[in-house]
Amino acid sequence: MPKDTLSIVREWHEAFDVPVVDAPSIPEDRAQMRLAILEEEVAELREAVEAGDMVEVLDALCDIQYVLDGTFLEFGLHGVKQNAMEEVHASNMSKLGADGRPVLREDGKVLKGPDFRRPDLGRVLERP
């Protein structure tokens, strides 16, 4: 059975002695580095898109996912990731317009419809 991305990245963290934190917290000693790496990978994605290089786009997207999952692990949020994603998904689905169709901005960005509700991620963090 294929491993999910979080399991793959956890394996790497354990092999390279990179922290995996058990409880949600922002690690003062590593948070800025995690943010800098994410920003670096997004910049690489932008360059790849602008160059029209699909191999580099794929590489950048995989690197972003890898660093993002590592951040879930280092911030102790890996245990709530799935529930948080489901909560955000439910919130995003509530953006539909009154007619059940997407509300789109001129450039195609999906806007919030009249029944939009914010995700309750505080509740997700409080769950055992």
Q: What is the pLDDT of residue 128?
A: 65
Domain 1-76: CATH architecture, name and number where available: Orthogonal Bundle (1.10)
Q: What is the pLDDT of residue 1?
A: 75
Contact present, 21 and 76 (Cβ < 8 Å):
yes
Q: What are phi and psi of 103, to 5 degrees?
A: -100, 115
For the chain, the domains span 1-76, 80-128
Q: What is the pLDDT of residue 48?
A: 99
Average pLDDT over residues 19-28: 97
Contact present, 91 and 79 (Cβ < 8 Å):
no
- Tokens 């000693």 sit at which residue? 29
- Report pTM: 0.92
Give the DSSP per-residue string, 23-77: S----TTTHHHHHHHHHHHHHHHHHHHHHT-HHHHHHHHHHHHHHHHHHHHHTT-
Tens of pLDDT, residue by residue over 29-67, are 999 999 999 999 999 999 999 999 999 999 999 999 999
